[in-house]
Amino acid sequence: MTGDPVRARQLRKSLQTILDRSNDPALREMAGEVLSGRLSLRDAANVPAYGEAMRTGMQQGLRAYEAMSESERRGAEEEGRRQFDAVRSELDEEARERSRSEGGSGNRPGKHNGRGWSL
């Protein structure tokens, strides 16, 4: 979905929320198609029904943002940063867990020193 693992995870979570909670059948279908890998988000935007549903949702979000006070906007931005940091921490912890489960403590020597090999 994206080259940034944090943003990719956030996007997947957002699509899952749309799939689980949206009242718009076209948005739910689009989210399911993208999450399943049958359709990229870029391709989904080019499907007329999905593109229109996404535009409508973005317009509603923009209107809601514009209706916020300055302090509400700052609060929303801070919440976004907290969520971003939480996802980054989640990914870092998953990487540490993988490293531990694969025996990658970094303190142990390798199983083979490379001597005795020839090509």
Domain boundaries of the chain, sorted by first residue: 1-67, 69-102
- Return the structure tokens found at 35: 């999450």
What digits encode the pLDDT tens for the residues 40-89?
A: 999 999 999 999 999 999 999 999 999 999 999 999 999 999 999 999 99
pLDDT at 16: 98
Which residues neighbour 76 within 8 Å (Cβ) at sequence distance 6 or greater?
65, 68
Mean pLDDT of the chain: 89
- Phi first, then psi: what are they for 41, rounded to 5°? -65, -40
